[in-house]
Amino acid sequence: MGKVLSFLLIVLFFASCSEYQKALKSEDVAVKAKVANEMYENGKYSKALRLYEQLAPAYKGKPQAERIFYFYSKSYYLTKQYYLAAYQFENFAASYPKSEKREEASFLAAECYYRLSPRFSLDQVDTDKALTKLQKFIDLYPNSEYLPKANEYVKELTDKLEEKAFKIAKQYHDIADYRFEYATAIKALDNFILDYPGTKYKEEAMYYKFDSAYKLAMNSIPSKKEERLNVAKTYYNSLMKFKADSAFKDKADDKLAMIDKELQQYSKQ
Is 59 in contact with 36 (CB distance < 8 Å)? Answer: no
pLDDT range class, residue 190, cuts 50, 70, 90: very high
Give pLDDT, residue 21: 85
Query: Quick one: 155 exposed, middle or buried, by C-beta within 10 A (0-12, 13-18, 19+)?
Result: exposed
Q: What pLDDT shows up at residue 268?
A: 63
CB 96: neighbour CB atoms within 10 A? 16
CA distances from 15 to 8, 45, 154 (A): 10, 18, 46
Q: What is the pTM of this model?
A: 0.80
- Mean pLDDT of the region 232-248: 97
Evaluate if residue 4 carries a pLDDT over 60. no
Q: Phi first, then psi: give them for residue 199, nearest 5 degrees.
A: -65, 150
What tens digit of pLDDT does each residue of 199-226 get?
A: 999 999 999 999 999 999 999 999 999 9
Q: CA-to-CA distance for 124 and 119, rounded, in angstroms?
A: 8
Ramachandran sector of residue 265 (left: φ over 0; alpha: ψ -120 to 50; beta: rest): alpha
pLDDT at residue 3 is higher than 50: no
